[in-house]
Amino acid sequence: NAGVTQTPKFQVLKTGQSMTLQCAQDMNHEYMSWYRQDPGMGLRLIHYSVGAGITDQGEVPNGYNVSRSTTEDFPLRLLSAAPSQTSVYFCASKNRPDPDRDNEQFFGPGTRLTVL
Amino acid sequence: GDSVTQMEGPVTLSEEAFLTINCTYTATGYPSLFWYVQYPGEGLQLLLKATKADDKGSNKGFEATYRKETTSFHLEKGSVQVSDSAVYFCALSKGAQKLVFGQGTRLTINP
């Protein structure tokens, strides 16, 4: 298994440009999430999905769109990049939670985005 | 809302020193608690977890005990190594999709 993969690893954008961060997992996980990591703030949830065709907003959704057409893929779209979106973005996935088990999430290696 | 507070870093120690990174949480109900580690240039990896009060999670010489009475989940290691240098995140989850993270603590171990 490749686990959770993300592309690209690095990206530089100009203000106003749009782009899509790719995320894929091969573990047949139902749940997928996008987080952003900023210095001194830990990771904050942007959007998440509980299954194909279902998405919902997290803590900081503004300026981002997501879709979940397949179980494997969960792309994150920046509609019009702003310098405030300079960050490291992590995708994560996990199984449907079981009350008798923990909720471990599996993270991708991250995408470092700079918006000039 | 739910939140996690970690001790501020950065933390710098010498090899073989004792490590404690404090973590306290605020949550309703009975969250599961986690420590994740992020090595330089990599994504987050689960280090250890505890799903109910008084559980002790352990891995790679690290330990943390779920203390409901003090709402804490402090990370400890008896003798740190240079290879333990990383950023450590405390997090909670309540059976849903979301993990709530602390701000992270950067640990540097000098030889």
pLDDT digits (tens, 9 = 90+) for B10-25: 999 999 999 999 999 9
Strands, E, within A53-116: which ranges? 54-57, 64-66, 76-78, 87-94, 106-107, 111-115
- Say which DSSP state A62 is in: T
For residues B72 and B29, give the distance between their C-alpha atoms in angstroms, rounded to a whole number: 14
- Confidence band for A5, pLDDT divided at 50, 70 and 90: very high
Q: pLDDT value at position B40?
A: 87
Q: State how far residue B68 is from chain A, nearest Cα, in angstroms.
A: 17
Q: State how far residue B62 is from chain A, nearest Cα, in angstroms.
A: 17
Mark yes or no for CB contact B98/A58 under 8 Å.
yes
Q: pLDDT value at position A97?
A: 64
Q: Is A107 on the interface with B (CB under 8 A)?
A: yes
Share the mean pLDDT of chain A. Answer: 91
Higher local confidence (pLDDT), B29 or A62: A62
Alpha helices (H) along chain A:
none
A-interface mutation test, from B23, B33, B59, B98, most A Cβ less than 10 A away = B98
- Confidence band for B90, pLDDT divided at 50, 70 and 90: very high
Q: Which two tokens stand for residue B65?
A: 């005990």
Q: pLDDT value at position B8?
A: 79
For residues B93 and B49, give the distance between their C-alpha atoms in angstroms, rounded to a whole number: 11
| Residue A105 near residue A94 (C-beta atoms within 8 A) | yes
Share the mean pLDDT of chain B. Answer: 92
Q: pLDDT value at position A101?
A: 57
Nearest CA in chain B to A98: B95
Mark yes or no for CB contact A42/B42 under 8 Å.
no
Q: Is A14 helix (H, G, I), strand (E, B) or coil?
A: coil
Q: Which two tokens stand for residue B109?
A: 């171990």
- Confidence band for B96, pLDDT divided at 50, 70 and 90: low
For residues A14 and A32, give the distance between their C-alpha atoms in angstroms, rounded to a whole number: 28
Measured in degrees and rounded to the nearest 5, phi and psi for residue B37 equal -125, 140
Selecting from A50, A104, A108 the residue whose C-beta is nearest the C-beta of B49 gives A104
For residues A48 and A5, give the distance between their C-alpha atoms in angstroms, rounded to a whole number: 16
- Flag whether pLDDT at A27 surpasses 60: yes
For residues A1 and A81, give the distance between their C-alpha atoms in angstroms, rounded to a whole number: 33
Omega of the bond prior to A97 within 30 degrees of 0, cis?
no
- Flag whether pLDDT at A53 surpasses 80: yes
For residues A110 and A35, give the distance between their C-alpha atoms in angstroms, rounded to a whole number: 9
Q: Is A97 on the interface with B (CB under 8 A)?
A: yes
Choice among A5-19, A81-95, B28-42, B86-100 with the minimum mean pLDDT: B86-100
Which residues does residue B75 pair with via DSSP β-bridges, in sequence order? B21, B64
| Residue A9 near residue A109 (C-beta atoms within 8 A) | yes
Mark yes or no for CB contact A107/B49 under 8 Å.
no
Q: Is A27 on the interface with B (CB under 8 A)?
A: no
Nearest CA in chain B to A48: B97
Q: State how far residue B7 is from chain A, nearest Cα, in angstroms.
A: 11
- Flag whether pLDDT at B106 surpasses 80: yes
